[in-house]
């Protein structure tokens, strides 16, 4: 049965994520449902933002490092922080 949200997608449960109920969305103007698409800003690394499905992945591995989700505040305040891989000398 269609949900009326054409941007919804089944979330891959094999990737580390919090459950949708883990998040308090009481301050959100429009709460998100599992599978809703959302942009998450990135700080550092090769990307300026990521298109994710709610709930977003907690970590995203890249060739040169890992994005770690900072999910404090409303969803518009969330961001991924890039942690570069240590390079051996």
- pLDDT tens for each residue of 41-51: 999 999 999 99
pLDDT digits (tens, 9 = 90+) for 43-86: 999 999 999 999 999 999 999 999 999 999 999 999 999 999 98
Q: How confident is the model at residue 1 (pLDDT cuts 50, 70, 90)?
A: very low
Place of tokens 């991924």: 80
pLDDT digits (tens, 9 = 90+) for 16-34: 899 999 999 999 999 999 9
pLDDT of 12:
63
- Has this prediction a pTM greater than 0.85? no
Taking CA atoms, 5 is separated from 47, 51, 70, in Å, by: 27, 16, 26
pLDDT of 69:
98
Tokens of 57: 């992945």
pLDDT of 36:
94
């Amino acid at each position: 049965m269609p949900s009326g949200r054409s941007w919804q997608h089944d979330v891959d449960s094999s990737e580390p994520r919090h459950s949708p109920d883990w998040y308090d969305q009481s301050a959100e103007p429009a709460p998100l449902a599992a599978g809703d698409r959302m942009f998450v800003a990135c700080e550092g690394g090769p990307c300026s933002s990521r298109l994710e499905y709610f709930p977003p992945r907690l970590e995203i591995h890249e060739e040169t490092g890992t994005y770690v989700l900072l999910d404090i505040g409303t969803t518009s305040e969330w961001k991924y922080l890039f942690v570069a891989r240590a390079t051996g000398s």
